[in-house]
Chains A and B, each alone.
Chain A
Amino acid sequence: MGREKSIYNALVDIVGEDFVSNEPEDLYLYSRDGGTTKPRGVDYVVVPKTVEEVQQIVILANREKVPITPMGGGLTLNGLVIPVHGGIVIDMKRMDRIIEVNESSRYVVLEAGVSQGALLSYLRKNHPDLQHSMPEAPSIATVVGNILIRGHGSLSQCGDNSNMLNGMEIVLPTGEICQVGSCSASPHWFGKGPLPDLAGLFIGWFGTTGIVTKASLRLYPRPEKRDMVLFVTQNPDLIPELVYKLTQTRIADNIGMMEQEKPEYMKGYQFTGVIISGDSEEEMDYKRKVLDKIPQTCGDGENKVTLLGEIPPSSKERFLEEPPFAAVAADFRKGGGFQYCAIMMPIEKVPEAWRRGIEIAHNNGMLFQCANQVMSAGHEVMFGYNYSFNRADEEDAERARKAMQETNKLGLELGGIPWKADLQAQKEIVEKMDPNTRELMKKVKKLLDPNGIMNPGNWED
């Protein structure tokens, strides 16, 4: 029996025939994502149901020295779960149990395949007073995937989602199952500390250090009322001051900014949206009142911040919906390709990032479109440069790819860091990195994954 066949058979023995495939049609899909990343080969896809199955797959992969790439929703658009060196993709979405919700200590324990949509539904139904910080991503995105790429959500004022992690169960690259956080020493999954922080070993590593099979995520009060207040500026130089003033009030759930050149009437305006919430009209009123005063405190005679009095209910809904469906704009090119380049940056770098982003878009014959997010209580900005493209037109995809690369370079030049960086950007980050930090990173990878089977090719130089 050839090696390929024997690996296939071994996988069938582990998960059953229905949940493993090496057929070209199935592999086709796992070889690419919705972004501009060029397809890369996959040899097998497996869909395990239990942690023991994952463990056996990992042991098999070690024995056969086959790479493994764990996958959640597969929606990073940056090819993070498209294997670089082939091998097995483990689609985690069949591990979809929501195991426990603790109301008093506000957390949920769930398996790695649970989608954002499933958790949203579950909470609405069983714990309507609670919510999780829901990312602005399609609902099929997994909760764990979002944590591991350090994504943010509707409550990013409480920090990004990896900050809301209480603990995890992990299959190490060498096959051991272990728990991190309070659950490692207690039956309860209520906190990450006060123990040696092992969770960090698996956050931001893009699957190179192990496979997370369970996680405990913090939940938050769900207010009865939500609303959005919108500010408009015509000069990005005003943004850092506006954001500072807004965050100083401490009343926003979430703050986002955007600009788009189409439709024409929006061109040249920066929109800053503030989501507020409360349990009573009284509370909402005072929050609105506080925000009403903001324009007086920002800008000068020439450059002003304006409060947009009337927001069409439809656009309000678009942002207030949970999850928000701002991504509908992605189809404006009618091309089924959407890519954005997200750069984390200090807030004071936003004006320059804005201007130079417009240059990059125009130089590549594209329209400028950005959607940005203020992180935690005003500590950084995720600057999202959107590049829609036509998936059927390779030239167009190439243009988007080029714009992406230029944007990543710009981000790094400004002192920012690309978020969920693609391979090219990862390389640039690693090159720029403090050499001793780079060595430490390698040491950790080597320590955990001596055979280099875990999503290899990522975070390498």
Chain B
Amino acid sequence: MALKDYQDMVHRCFRCGYCKFTSDYSYVGFNCPIYNKFRLESYSPGGMMWLIYASLVKEEIKPSKHLSEILYSCTMCRNCSQECKFQFNEDIVNVLKAAREEMVDKQLMPPMVGQFLKNVYDYGNPYRELKENRDNWAENTEIKHYEKGDEFLYYVGCVGSYDTASQKAARALGSVLKKSGLSFGILGSREICDGNEVDMLGETGLFEFLKEENTRIFKEIGVKKIVTLSPHSYNALKNSYSNEFEVFHYTQLLRDLIKSNKLDLSGGFEAKVTYHDPCFLGRYNNEYDAPREILAAIPGVELIEMERTKENSFCCGGGCGNFYTDILGGGEDTPSRFRIREAHDTGANIIAVACPVCVMMLEDALKAEGLENELAIKDISEIVNEALL
């Protein structure tokens, strides 16, 4: 919906600030990743609501570059919508998205955001990588392209396809699926961006195009069920695409495969593991159990929860294209570094994640914190893969 559809709501925010906390006050500090870093009132959900009202609804102040920096600093982790006590809470992220649409219309996006969108438009991925290299990660594996009759399309997404750290997860998941005996395939160089970030960044036109294009390809080759590596893809495909496809995040699928004894995990994985909930799996899609059930099923895994967990999980800072635009980057107070320190405090030696964006963000932060010798980041797909006999 466009901003005008929210005109009767935008001014309703009281800026009371509940949106900055966790739900149960279990954590001392702020759970809004941007306010936690910037600490000016502008960089908070309420501040944004008021500024959107002032600049884009009431036109008291002129939309500017700085406004754009503020609006695009948010990762849309959805903590605010969850914690806001008022009836309009769901609309907080929607209003922000609608405001970003206006910024795109006015061509006021921060340069890196513009670059992100342009790259996706030109290349089908934000990295300006060639389409034909999209499945380079699958070389020398048994992972094949999707063929008619395969039960699942394995949709990898841009980050899993191109980012070195995340490619490991992509391969691991492929290997696990293979061992389960499931019939599946990838799109290879025909895969293009799912558009989740594009949508969140307010480029509606491009998102519509990606949606149509992806849907066309899926239909053309007869896809019915999709399993995604990334919760971001999962969110877009499940909630914004037509409902003719059955979409799973891979943790849901693996959980079911384990339950029906299709995966023999008796190889085990000896580690103290803490699990970081990705926003697009958790707060957006309410899936907190599947990853934990998988970890619980692996012999040797000792799961230690972080202070902020499940619906109180703290965003890694990578959402809304931040893994590329890096608006939240720099300094000790970046969300990913906060999160690494929190994970370190649990005494775990593995941070398990279920999202290629989180993998990438947390890997970088781990290095910045200098904790590589004490902690390692592993996608759940990798852990499962190692535990398989």
Contact = CB atoms under 8 A, between A and B. Distances in A.
A337 B11 CA distance: 8
B326 interface: no
A75 B50 contact: no
Size category of the binding interface on chain A? 35 or more
Interface string B45-60: 0010011011100101
Contacts of A73: 17
Interface string A316-351: 000000000101101100111110000000000000
Contacts of B61: 24-25, 28
Interface stretch (A115-123, A145-153, A189-197, A435-443): A115-123
B18 A29 contact: no
A338 B14 contact: yes
Nearest to A333: B12
B26 interface: yes
Interface string B339-368: 000000000000000000000000000000
Given A28-B61, A334-B12, A335-B12, A18 B38 contact: yes
Contacts of B82: none
Interface in A79-112: 91, 93-94, 96, 98
Contacts of B21: 117, 121, 139-140
A121 B12 contact: no
Interface stretch (B62-70, B139-147, B183-191): B62-70
B17 A139 contact: yes
Contacts of A390: 11
- Majority secondary structure, A binding face: mixed
A141 B18 CA distance: 10
A121 B26 contact: yes
A29 B27 CA distance: 27
Interface residues of B, number: 41
A133 to B, nearest CB: 16
Interface in B150-194: none
Interface string A375-393: 0000000000000001110
A274 interface: no
B87 interface: yes
B13 interface: yes
B12 A331 contact: yes
A336 to B, nearest CB: 4
A93 B37 CA distance: 12
B87 A331 contact: yes
Interface of A: 18-19, 21, 23-26, 28-30, 33-34, 45, 47, 73-75, 91, 93-94, 96, 98, 115, 117-118, 120-122, 124-125, 138-141, 325, 327-328, 330-331, 334-338, 390-392
Interface of B: 8, 11-18, 20-22, 25-29, 38-42, 47, 50-51, 53-55, 58, 60-62, 64, 66-67, 70, 85-88, 331
